[in-house]
Amino acid sequence: MNNNEFVTLAHGAGGRQTAELIDRVFKAHFSNPDFTGDDAAVLPVDAGKIAFTTDGFIVSPFEFPGGNIGKLSICGTVNDLACMGAKPLYLSCAFVIEEGFPLAKLEEIAAAMKKTADEAGVRIVAGDTKVAGKGQVDHVFITTTGVGQLTEGVRTSGAFAKPGDAVIVTGDVGRHGCTILLARNEFEIDADVTSDCAPLWGTVKSMLDASHDIHVIRDATRGGVGTVLYEIADQSKVGIRLNSADVPVAPEVRGVCGMLGLEPLYLACEGRLVVFAPKSEAPAILDALRKGPYSASAAIIGEVVADHPGKVVMTTEIGAQSLLPQPGGELLPRIC
Amino acid sequence: MCVGLSARVVSIEDGTALIDASGAKRKVSADLIDDLEPGDYVMVHAGVAIAKITDTDADESRKIMESLDGIG
Amino acid sequence: MESAKRIIESYNGRKLRVMEVCGTHTHEIFRLGIRRILPPQIELISGPGCPVCVTPAGYIDEAVMLALEHGAVICTFGDLIRVPGSEMSLAGARSQGAAVKTVYSPLDAVDFARENPDKQVVFLAVGFETTVPAACLAVKKAAAEGLSNFSILGANKTMPNAYKALKGSADAFLYPGHVNAITGTAVCEDLVKLGVSGVVAGFTADEILTALAVIIRLSASGEPFFRNCYPRVVRPEGSPAALKLMDTVMEPCDAEWRGLGVIPMSGLKLRPAFAAYDARLKFSLPPVAGRSNPACRCGEVLQGKCKSTDCNLFGTACTPLHPVGACMVSNEGACSAYYQYGDILNEQ
């Protein structure tokens, strides 16, 4: 495929050129026994329960240090399934592509999806392609839908956090949000930060192998870890105490945040889980996490309390208590 | 007002300094400080180095607290 | 830090009202939970040192007008995006198709103007003495390059006359370190002669606690005092280069402070030599009288006359997601800080 081939409206018209695009890009990369080209994939169902979820992905720029929208679209759905303790099995993906998008870039995106899906142990079994006119979408949007097999004896939910639980984060926070901020180059800041974007079924599996007594697993995406903490405090009607010194943040991310007056806890992650489990289980879980490729810097950052339900209270560097502000609205740099 | 950031000067060229704050780098105006050299620490605000920094906050605070002995 | 903390926590002298005039101090004091370690005799008042909070609604109206009616690209610090004008905020204008670009530095707005010669670029110049030199550098740079598509909408302010207007609002000021880095400390020494006490403070936990401890100790004598607690950044003479630059490009003028009214000679505007870079002249903007919600008590909050929680709108009609007054919209505003950090156990 040469560099001056582009997606055209004809590629989305459903005729020969659509078939050509599917053959050249998607079939070439996604090929597996369950990806048949029929109207729907026909899949075996095991006994037990399945988890089922969907997510849409738009990101500007569509390529960034540490990944691209393709990798992101697999990780997002795989991680949502993993958070329920479900082994991801099958994914579908729907593309909306802007007219004029380079085919070579589309191939890179498909290759990243295939690689990430393989790592997560999931098969892409169905798809759809639409082409929108120039300016109607920002390069390419992807929606993925996934099903996974629930692990027996495991039941996690945002409503299950209990006083006495330890709050664990599986790595340093805010990398993805910081990476995207820098990649847009609006503020002309340069820092060696790559997205944490990663498929986390392996990470969840290692925790479940260490303990089935895990109450909540949630992936921190938009709004970051701070948003997840407020969601859980609200859903479980508990209070959360956080120790600010224990929250892992890469120095570069801290530097960028310092420059722009931002709080790392509200920057998006795409490869970080927030885990709530009884304190007695925490050491084994942490031990398992620290051996994993995406969770070497996992840390206990706080605990669940019965006091101040719905609120997240932080112990600050002077040893005083302060409310973690509720995230909301768009993140705006604070300068003057 | 006035979010300030302390940063190390990496290099200077034509009135512009490349500064580094924990690995976050940016070019800022060095027009307001005459004798800036690489290795200096500066306070940066809105893309301008506004002052040279001469001490750490911990050392400065310790000296100020010591100077209070016998007052009040 | 520990010895400063001990002095603060064990204070049991007379009532002491300390006004932090800088929004970044307000923000850090709340973020660090410093209010929670204060004994009841010490009251911290959040003063008018958040440029967003003291910017009148009419200013936002002017910016919206430039964007929507004149098609200008508005370059602004992120702080201003959500501030309500009489009709809409800049975020609202953006949803109506206005071009609003967030910048880190006014100099970035000049770069943007150079790269986009077909667009008129207007930088929203708000801020105090710390921020003014950056705006002046931007204007000088645009002038030196002969850029005809760059201008600023000015609302810069200066602190000295505001301190005088606020005399009596507090027993001591926590002076804004980064303003003093530019202006020096003579203005504070002069205030001592008027009976106004204060210390220049930095912004780390160590520095804020140390400054408060110094205020406690120096207050004991009952005499007015001044102390520079941020000498690692603040020199007595300030920044002569910055002061010279400001004097070259701008001149003092009367300025309207949201909630405080007009304070004589408390603002800065471009000198006639730089009039070509004044967006009001360039686009012949009509005089704009902004309207703010009459129930909003931001003005009294800024003067320490009431607490955010005394306002009927606070937390009900006025929240950070739906701000009515500027003190709620700015992250550094007293109301926003009270709302976001204040209420651990529904203690209001």
pLDDT at position A171: 98
CB atoms within 10 A of CB B69: 9
Q: Is A83:A53 a contact under the CB 8 Å cutoff?
A: no
Say what the pLDDT of residue C347 is.
46
Question: A278: domain CATH number?
Answer: 3.90.650.10
pLDDT of residue A92: 96
Q: Which domain holds residue A106?
A: 9-150
> Does C126 sit within 8 Å of A336, measured CB to CB?
yes
Please compute Rg for chain A using Cα positions.
Answer: 21
State whether residue A254 sits within 8 Å of chain B by CB: yes
Angle of CA points C215, C219, C220, to nearest 5°: 130
Question: Could you give the CA distance from residue A298 to residue A287 in angstroms, rounded to a whole number?
Answer: 9
Query: Does the beta-carbon distance from A258 to B44 stay under 8 Å?
Result: no
State whether A241 and A172 are in the same domain: yes
Q: Does C241 touch chain B (CB under 8 A)?
A: yes
A298 in a structural domain:
yes
List the single residue in C32, C37, C82 with the smallest CB-CB distance to A329. C82
C216 chain-B contacts, CB cut-off 8 A: 72
Cα separation, A148 vs A89, whole angstroms: 5
Looking at the structure, tell me whether residues A187 and A146 fall in a common domain.
Answer: no
CB A205 within 8 A of CB A265: no
CATH number of C57-158+238-282: 3.40.50.11740
Asked whether residue A311 is domain-assigned, the answer is: yes
- Amino acid present at C196: V
CA–CA distances in Å: residue C37 to residues A26, A98, A151, C346: 61, 56, 48, 18
All CATH 3.40.50.11740 domain ranges of chain C, comma separated, are 57-158+238-282
Which stretches in chain C have pLDDT values below 70?
342-348
**Residue % of chain B over a pLDDT of 70:** 96
Which of C33, C51, C331 lies nearest to residue A321, judging by beta carbons?
C33
Report the CATH number at residue A67.
3.30.1330.10
Interface of B with A in 38-67 (CB under 8 A): 44-46
Is the confidence at residue A227, as pLDDT, over 90? yes
Kindly state whether residue A3 falls inside one of the protein's structural domains. Answer: no
Mean pLDDT, chain A, integer: 94
Domains contained in chain A, number: 2
Q: Tell me what ipTM this predicted complex has.
A: 0.94
pLDDT in tens, A97-140: 999 999 999 999 999 999 999 999 999 999 999 999 999 999 99
Q: What integer pLDDT is reported at residue B42 of this predicted model?
A: 97
Tell me how crowded residue A46 is: count the other CB atoms within 10 A of its CB: 9
pLDDT (tens digit, 9 = 90+) per residue, A164-182?
Answer: 999 999 999 999 999 999 9
**Cβ pair B29:C239 closer than 8 A:** no
How close does chain C come to B71, measured CA to CA in Å?
A: 6
| pLDDT score recorded for residue C348 | 37
User: 3-state SS string over chain A?
Assistant: CCCCCECCHHHHCCCHHHHHHHHHHHHHHHCCCCCCCCCCCCCCCCCCCEEEEEEEECCCCCEECCEEHHHHHHHHHHHHHHHCCEEEEEEEEEEEEECCCEHHHHHHHHHHHHHHHHHHCCEEEEEEEEEECCCCCCCEEEEEEEEEEECCCCCCCCCCCCCCEEEEECCCCCHHHHHHHHHCCCCCCECCCCCCCCCCHHHHHHHHHHCCCCCEEEECCCCHHHHHHHHHHHHHCCEEEEEHHHCCCCHHHHHHHHHHCCCHHHCCCCCCEEEEEECCCHHHHHHHHHCCCCCCCCEEEEEEECCCCCCEEEECCCCCEEECCCCCCCCCCCCC
Contacts of C23 in chain B (CB under 8 A): 1-2
Structural domains of chain B, with CATH: 5-67 (2.30.30.140)
What pLDDT does residue C340 have?
Answer: 82
Q: Which residue has the tokens 């403070």?
A: C201
Report B:1-30 residues touching A (Cβ under 8 A).
1-3, 5, 20-27
**Which CATH architecture group holds C2-44+166-176+184-226?**
3-Layer(aba) Sandwich (3.40)
C-chain residues within 8 Å CB-CB of B42? none
Do A287 and A210 form a contact (C-beta atoms < 8 A)? yes
Across the interface, which of C49, C107, C235 has its CB nearest the CB of B1? Answer: C49
Q: What contacts A99, CB < 8 A, 6 or more positions away?
A: A6, A7, A8, A9, A131, A132, A133, A134
